[in-house]
Chains A and B, each alone.
Chain A
Amino acid sequence: MTEVALAAQAQPRRRRRRGSLQAILATTPMIIAAVGVFVICILFSIFWSMTNSKLFPNFNFIGLTQYQRLWGTDRWIVSVQNVLVFGSISLIVGLVFGYLLAVFMDQRIRQEDLFRSIFLYPFAMSLVVTGLVWQWMYDPNLGIQSAVRSLGWTGFTFAPLIHESTALYGVIVGGVWNGVGVTMAILLAGLRGVDGEIWKAAKVDGIPTWRTYLFIALPMMRGAIATAFVLQLTGVVRVFDIVVAMTGGGPGFSTQVPALYVIQHLTDRVNVGQGMAAATMMLAPVMLLIVLRGLFVMRAESRAKRGAK
């Protein structure tokens, strides 16, 4: 009797151990990749950012000189400002338009599948293609401006990419156009996930539909919004290809972004040290977020422990 009980006790323990072994085996490649690719490479990047490496990385330590040059360079400062403007505007506009489109799709319209495909279609295109198409549309001699002028409105001007002050907004429109369909799809899924009973209850209470969308449905789909937000945010940090295709960073350097600066210095300008310094600066805000989140989690945990006592 006791033996049976022991065996019964031992079995799940053994199974658990085997399970954890499998888990370790399965995650080892990922761990190696994460440590090897991310941690070690990041450490090397930071290290080389303090050297005067040109084409070949070297170990000539020169302190923070590369960072001094970086922050003394107009182009880098404009790049940082641009990514902030680009990021905040395209995040807000993307989410607002994405939600409006999702609400529109939610009206039991006919041909919903067709519309959904149309709205999602831009995302299937690479940002380079998107950028080129928008560049042509914006081109004063080929695009919208010349088309409208040929219809008779000869004073019509619409060419955002040729002026320093407007070029960035031209790029933002292209980027939002590319990404808004995905936001719509995610938010639409979120909307469909809201319980039908809630709609009925809201109707019974006489709450207007728009208020239901804004104040009842929206707060209930936090998960979908967070997903859409994070997806867009990653797109913002690595924004590169659409700028290359649309403006090449110009006119002047009004549409430069940090990624462009990094890549150009690592490659054609053969100044690895400077490129690595810029890359390290790009990493800084991400690291800050991770540290802040870590602190936040730790505090929440310690508070939970204290609460349990």
Chain B
Amino acid sequence: MKKFIPAVALLAAAFAGSTAVRAADVEVAHWWTSGGEQAAVSVFANEFDALGGDKWIDGAIAGGEASRSATLQRILGGNPPGAAQFNPGRQYEELIANGQLLDLTDLATKENWAGLIRPQSISEACLVDGHWWCVPVNIHSWNWAWASIPAFKAAGVELPTSFADFLEKAPKLKAAGITPFAIGGESWQISGAFGVVQTSMLGLEKREQILKGKDVALAAAEMPAVFTKWREFKQYTDEGSANRNWNDTTNLVITGKAAMQIMGDWARGEFAVAGQKAGVDYACLALPIEAPTVSTGGDIFLFPKNSDPAVEAAQLKMASMMITPRVQALFNNAKGSMPVRDDVDMSLADDCMKKGLEIIKDEKNIAVDAGRWLSNDTTGQMNDLAAKFWADDSMTVEDAVAQYVDILKNAD
């Protein structure tokens, strides 16, 4: 068998003819390691390998921070991976400015990405100064809450109709031995959920004024209420939340031990892997419940420049593959995210994704991801603050707001 493979490879090369570029291995750096994420990334890997010739080499590193750090260090060190996952926004702005990325403009023009990808704020993450520097592969919204229907039934209460309503029902859930509010104590989880509460309370317009316009006065006026409300959630969490992974936290909702988690729609993949059905076992509530929105987070793949033409050809092939309607449908169904184009066969989509696709149709419901406006440095400072405020009950709201304003003032 071992001898057989090189023989086949030789034959294939002979058929391909001498003009074909030889096959390349493309190492792909990403942080998709949970069950649902694995299922999704396998779609990319299998589809890419099926194109023949080139090979997908999986370079998964657990944790977004760790994976992005490794990629950045490798690019700086001159040994970049073939492709790398990032979140859309400012995480890779310096790579673009320094000319470290493969320009995908020709491919994008040929395939009309600008016309296909919607909403516009998704393509803006990759289309910088008229050039395409990356491929958006999905739309992930942070603005979701995941509720366990059996847990709410067991406590004898209906699903919440607003955050205020949830906080009213939480004591009953707690009395029934259920953790009302599931959250993992990592700073990005806390900060993310805090951001959703902020969106719910301020509305999209004021949120944009604060985070994009860096309106310090508005922040000083509006944020005290947000911090105060946010602290109310804490009494309804469980003891084990410190340093818990997001997917372990989602599992509490899946098993009915906890009632609700605020988490991006990547959580949907976990419910799918556990074999649960939307509307029966769990409910997905687009937030704010009163006026649902979708935030434009998600993932992009960028392709660091490579001197090997075979790798470059494979990179372009991979970029093109990721955005085809078929792959978009398969990948996003497994991932729990929404496709970046409309002409995708969504017959497999479940209720939650259909809900999201309905919301995203109207530009007014789109909450642009804060990562577009804030650098990683600023986001990190806000994460620190959210985590500190959450953990330290002795920190006053005034103090938290003062720090928040300070971070905003110094944001670059």
A residues adjacent to B (C-beta < 8 A): 54-56, 69, 74-75, 135, 139-142, 159, 161-162, 164, 167, 246-254, 264-265, 267-271, 274
Segment with Cβ contacts to A, from B130-138, B165-173, B326-334, B384-392: B384-392
Collect the chain A residues with CB atoms within 8 Å of residue B187's CB: 248-250
Sort A-B residue pairs by CB-CB distance and give the 4 closest, nearest first: A252-B391, A267-B69, A251-B391, A268-B65
Task: Please encode chain B, from 37 to 75, with 1 for each CB lying within 8 Å of some chain A CB and 0 for all others.
Answer: 000000000000000000000000000111011001100
Interchain CB contact under 8 A, B239 and A274: no
Size of chain B's interface in residues, with CB distance under 8 A?
34
B residues adjacent to A (C-beta < 8 A): 64-66, 68-69, 72-73, 76, 91, 94-95, 98, 185-187, 238-243, 375-377, 380, 384, 387-392, 403, 410
Collect the chain B residues with CB atoms within 8 Å of residue A246's CB: 243
In Å, the complex CA distance between A110 and B224 comes to: 66
Query: What distance in Å separates the Cβ of A201 from its nearest Cβ neighbour in chain B?
Result: 55
Query: What distance in Å separates the Cβ of A264 from its nearest Cβ neighbour in chain B?
Result: 7
**Given A56-B94, A250-B186, A253-B387, A270–B375 Cβ distance below 8 Å?**
yes
Interchain CB contact under 8 A, A141 and B65: no
Collect the chain B residues with CB atoms within 8 Å of residue A54's CB: 94, 375, 377
Interchain CB contact under 8 A, A270 and B72: yes
In Å, the complex CA distance between A136 and B238 comes to: 16
Picked from B185, B239, B380, the residue with its CB within 8 Å of the CB of A250 is B185
Picked from A140, A248, A252, the residue with its CB within 8 Å of the CB of B390 is A252
Between B65, B239, B243, B410, the greatest number of chain A beta carbons within 10 A of the residue's beta carbon is seen for: B243
Q: List 21 A-B contacts (CB under 8 A).
A: A54-B94, A54-B375, A54-B377, A56-B76, A135-B243, A140-B240, A161-B242, A162-B242, A247-B242, A247-B243, A250-B185, A250-B391, A251-B387, A252-B388, A253-B391, A254-B392, A268-B68, A268-B376, A269-B380, A270-B377, A271-B376
In Å, the complex CA distance between A270 and B240 comes to: 31
In Å, the complex CA distance between A248 and B392 comes to: 16
Query: What distance in Å separates the Cβ of A267 from its nearest Cβ neighbour in chain B?
Result: 3
Collect the chain B residues with CB atoms within 8 Å of residue A264's CB: 65, 380
In Å, the complex CA distance between A250 and B72 comes to: 25
Collect the chain B residues with CB atoms within 8 Å of residue A251's CB: 185, 242-243, 387, 390-391
Between B66, B238, B391, the greatest number of chain A beta carbons within 10 A of the residue's beta carbon is seen for: B391
Picked from B98, B241, B380, B392, the residue with its CB within 8 Å of the CB of A252 is B392
**Given A164-B392, A264-B65, A270–B384 Cβ distance below 8 Å?**
no
Interchain CB contact under 8 A, B380 and A274: no
Across the interface, name the chain A residue whose C-beta is closest to B238. A141
**Given A54-B94, A140-B239, A267–B384 Cβ distance below 8 Å?**
no
Across the interface, name the chain B residue whose C-beta is closest to A274. B377
Collect the chain A residues with CB atoms within 8 Å of residue B391's CB: 164, 250-254
Across the interface, name the chain B residue whose C-beta is closest to A143. B240
Query: What distance in Å separates the Cβ of B101 from its nearest Cβ neighbour in chain A?
Result: 13
Picked from B69, B185, B387, the residue with its CB within 8 Å of the CB of A268 is B69
In Å, the complex CA distance between A254 and B376 comes to: 22
User: Chain A interface secondary structure, helix, strand, loop or mixed?
Assistant: loop
Query: What distance in Å separates the Cβ of B86 from its nearest Cβ neighbour in chain A?
Result: 11
Query: What distance in Å separates the Cβ of B297 from its nearest Cβ neighbour in chain A?
Result: 16
**Given A252-B391, A253-B387, A267-B65, A162–B240 Cβ distance below 8 Å?**
yes
In Å, the complex CA distance between A56 and B243 comes to: 31
Query: What distance in Å separates the Cβ of A74 from its nearest Cβ neighbour in chain B?
Result: 7
Collect the chain A residues with CB atoms within 8 Å of residue B403's CB: 74
Interchain CB contact under 8 A, A252 and B94: no
In Å, the complex CA distance between A253 and B375 comes to: 21
Interchain CB contact under 8 A, B239 and A55: no
Query: What distance in Å separates the Cβ of A68 from its nearest Cβ neighbour in chain B?
Result: 11
**Given A250-B187, A270-B376, A55–B95 Cβ distance below 8 Å?**
yes
Collect the chain A residues with CB atoms within 8 Å of residue B94's CB: 54-56, 270
Collect the chain A residues with CB atoms within 8 Å of residue B186's CB: 248, 250
Collect the chain A residues with CB atoms within 8 Å of residue B390's CB: 251-252
Query: What distance in Å separates the Cβ of A64 from its nearest Cβ neighbour in chain B?
Result: 15
**Given A141-B238, A161-B242, A56–B377 Cβ distance below 8 Å?**
no
Between B76, B185, B403, the greatest number of chain A beta carbons within 10 A of the residue's beta carbon is seen for: B185
Across the interface, name the chain A residue whose C-beta is closest to B410. A69
Across the interface, name the chain B residue whose C-beta is closest to A145. B239
Collect the chain A residues with CB atoms within 8 Å of residue B241's CB: 162
**Given A141-B239, A161-B242, A161-B243, A271–B377 Cβ distance below 8 Å?**
yes
Query: What distance in Å separates the Cβ of B200 from its nearest Cβ neighbour in chain A?
Result: 24
Query: What distance in Å separates the Cβ of B245 from its nearest Cβ neighbour in chain A?
Result: 10
Query: What distance in Å separates the Cβ of B128 from its nearest Cβ neighbour in chain A?
Result: 16
Across the interface, name the chain A residue whose C-beta is closest to B252. A141
Query: What distance in Å separates the Cβ of A271 from its nearest Cβ neighbour in chain B?
Result: 4
Query: What distance in Å separates the Cβ of B286 from its nearest Cβ neighbour in chain A?
Result: 29
